[in-house]
Amino acid sequence: MARKVDAVILAGGVLGKNNFPKALIEASPHKTVLERQIEWLSPVVDRIIIACRDYEAEQIKKYLQLRGNFVFSIEHELLGTAGALKKALKYAKRSDVIVCNVDDVTNIDIHTLLNFGENSICVANPRLPFGVIEMENLNIISFREKPLLKEIWVSCGVYLINKKIQKELPEKGSLERDVFPFMKLKAYKHYGIWKTFSLQKIY
């Protein structure tokens, strides 16, 4: 029987003055980033915990017909990614938990990640959103359109943790600033798809 884990989707955040949830950004025709994350996680995950603010949860429930083992972890104030995860982990039943940002879309093989082990951050080579020009004096000698930065590794916004981390998380704070720098972590190198949806622009 395939190993099962739980998942936390950090789905908080809004765009623009109308407080449009990031979770409802369109990732592809007729599919939001939240739906895309659920589709990717569902074959391996037993329970999906969606962490967001109360009014974001209302809009998500209004626009999406979620079917399956879902739980909303509701924030009534901004807790940051660390605080949101601490609260969401109360709903996790499995010891191993995949945590992902709602607006980081990837095709990471979850089974391979699970075999790699807990306390892992998935990393990838980013693609520069600009063309790179090489020059001699003022003469352009080469042009590379949106190259991959192969010497640089960045977080894919996907983590595999053990639920026990909950007691070490602050009530409010950032995973990136207040938690990860003080943990012993492994880097799971991902060479496939990774797209970040920010302000409806794909990088």
pTM as predicted:
0.89
27 and 105 in contact (C-beta within 8 Å)?
yes
Instruction: Kindly calculate the radius of gyration of the chain based on its CA atoms and give it in whole angstroms.
Output: 18
What pLDDT was estimated at residue 203?
A: 28
Structure tokens at 72: 């909303």
Checking if the pLDDT of 201 tops 50, the result is: no
What pLDDT was estimated at residue 154?
A: 94
* Average confidence (pLDDT) over 6-23: 86
Distances (CA, A) of 177 to 75, 81, 83, 188: 20, 10, 12, 20
* Average confidence (pLDDT) over 150-160: 93
108 and 122 in contact (C-beta within 8 Å)?
yes
What pLDDT was estimated at residue 17?
A: 67
What pLDDT was estimated at residue 20?
A: 83
* Average confidence (pLDDT) over 58-63: 90
Domains, the chain, ranges and CATH? 5-121+156-202 (3.90.550.10)
Q: Confidence class of residue 18 from pLDDT cuts 50, 70 and 90?
A: confident
